[in-house]
Structure 1
């Protein structure tokens, strides 16, 4: 029996990067959390401590900040591609790169009824994500979001489920359904297209709107059914998306017993339980989707 070194990668995790565009009196802001990870012949660093092939993680961090100025940030996906291309094509001996990006959204402050040119309020909605992989097999871009908290007060039920001697959950014909959605979608340009042809900035809000619409309008018999409807709708809307992966904790809301106080509760007062929770996951894909290669092999796991 021999002991061998398996898969390896290394990089700089969670470089907090804020880019302000100050070219006009009306400034713009992009707020990112960037993780870089490099893949290649780095075995000697692990086995012998030989750093001769190792580009320092500090250099990776500095590159991200430098590119924020020199390349600009039109979208987290495009920025990640710029970084990945640089590490793989310009840095010997790097063979592959994984870039994970979180983007935090801001909205302009309103002063005396008008948007302010250089003051923002942090938006308390979802975090946008992007994961970019470039290696010898190709280029892969995964867009996404997480922590999109959704709740609807009716239009959901959960009945007819399997029961055994340990089942205590009552059937519900009318319940609150709530979740903190995590969704990721893999871009796969169609024939004659390239990743450069995709307007990532335009696609993101459209995908989010599709998911919110189906969460709201589908009379849901199960959260599983809702995830399927969301993913299917996205694939039907965009032929350059190959698959959608969704993860949704079921944020349970239980009708609270206030009858013991002589007060009637007609699905109006609930106990919001934070744990434990059901965790529902789904992959919705085209049957002819191109191979994902290393697209889903994560680094820090932030995107």
Structure 2
């Protein structure tokens, strides 16, 4: 049998980095999960066991901690850019690097009616994400979020759909619309206030979901993507994945009770999975940065 090594890459997955800033009595916290992947000519390590060109994954882990100390964490995106560029510019065998970051949110505890200076409470399921790819084509920055679970109790319908002999679903003129969003957006550049931009994108997604009357979840995804591009000129592409978290009206008729859209049971599976990519006209292509991005919908 004739075989060849078609492709390879390696890295350190899920390094938990918690950075606390103690410069003043009011401390700050950033809580990250950092994964690094290196690409280059490492074929000898696979074919011959020759590690002379391999930067250990343990070294990659250590760099995450050192950079958190020496550079701080301005934002997940900026931290990933610093790491990715260091790998490509200062580690000779490395021709490309991807750094994926998840950030876990903490909110200040309220004690005696005031925010506490050094105590926090973990905030919800939502996770902020960032993915940075550095290679000979430049630097691609992808911001995002996942597990943003939203629900609205009206202003949503689904009717007039295609039917065949297997269709049992009936038209819904007023239904509960719920989903857990995974959203990623590609930036046009690398010199941005990523924290501020993230806040704007998240706010636009939520306000669009709430304000727009939905004829279908597909339409809602288009509206959110379009709204983000309108609101943030630095974003050139938005990718959204939305599982439809179905809520079915509970049948209370056996108990002689009416149920005018008040009591539902939530079904976690099976579920519809709706996805969309919205791109700004004339935006440059991202190459394979999306394909290699962890968690890309």
TM-score range, shorter chain: over 0.9
Separation of aligned partners in 2, 1:47 and 1:225: 50
Residues 68-114 of structure 1, C-alpha deviations (whole Å, 9 max, x = no match): 00010010000000000111101111000000000000000111111
Number of the residue aligned with 1:86: 86
Number of the residue aligned with 1:3: 3
Separation of aligned partners in 1, 2:23 and 2:218: 47
Separation of aligned partners in 2, 1:2 and 1:300: 32
Separation of aligned partners in 2, 1:302 and 1:292: 13
Number of the residue aligned with 1:192: none
Q: Are 1:140 and 1:292, in contact at CA under 8 Å, matched by a contact in 2?
A: yes
Number of the residue aligned with 1:106: 106
Question: Equivalences for 1:272-291 in 2 at 5 Å?
Answer: 272-291=266-285
SS at match of 1:124: strand
Separation of aligned partners in 2, 1:9 and 1:258: 57
Question: Equivalences for 1:138-177 in 2 at 5 Å?
Answer: 138-177=138-177
Q: Shift of the alpha carbon at 1:2?
A: 4.2
> Which runs of 5 or more residues in structure 1 are unaligned?
190-194
SS at match of 1:247: strand
Number of the residue aligned with 2:119: 119
Separation of aligned partners in 2, 1:49 and 1:261: 71
Number of the residue aligned with 1:27: 27
Q: Shift of the alpha carbon at 1:287?
A: 2.6
Number of the residue aligned with 2:242: 248
1:130 aligns to 2:130 (yes or no): yes
Query: Matched residue pairs, number?
Result: 297
SS at match of 2:45: helix
Separation of aligned partners in 1, 2:264 and 2:7: 48
Q: Shift of the alpha carbon at 1:4?
A: 2.1
Residues 207-236 of structure 1, C-alpha deviations (whole Å, 9 max, x = no match): 011011110111101000000000001111
Separation of aligned partners in 2, 1:302 and 1:184: 7
> Which runs of 5 or more residues in structure 2 are unaligned?
none
Number of the residue aligned with 1:216: 210
Q: Are 1:137 and 1:293, in contact at CA under 8 Å, matched by a contact in 2?
A: no
Separation of aligned partners in 1, 2:261 and 2:294: 41
SS at match of 1:49: coil
Number of the residue aligned with 1:266: 260
Separation of aligned partners in 2, 1:301 and 1:129: 9
Separation of aligned partners in 1, 2:229 and 2:146: 19
SS at match of 2:63: helix
SS at match of 2:50: coil
Number of the residue aligned with 2:195: 201
Q: Are 2:142 and 2:185, in contact at CA under 8 Å, matched by a contact in 1?
A: yes
Greater CA deviation, 54-63 or 4-13? 4-13
Q: Shift of the alpha carbon at 1:302?
A: 7.7
> What is the RMSD computed on CA atoms of the aligned residues?
1.3
Separation of aligned partners in 2, 1:108 and 1:200: 21
Number of the residue aligned with 1:180: 180
Superposition TM-score, scaled by structure 1 size: 0.95
SS at match of 2:94: coil
Number of the residue aligned with 2:61: 61
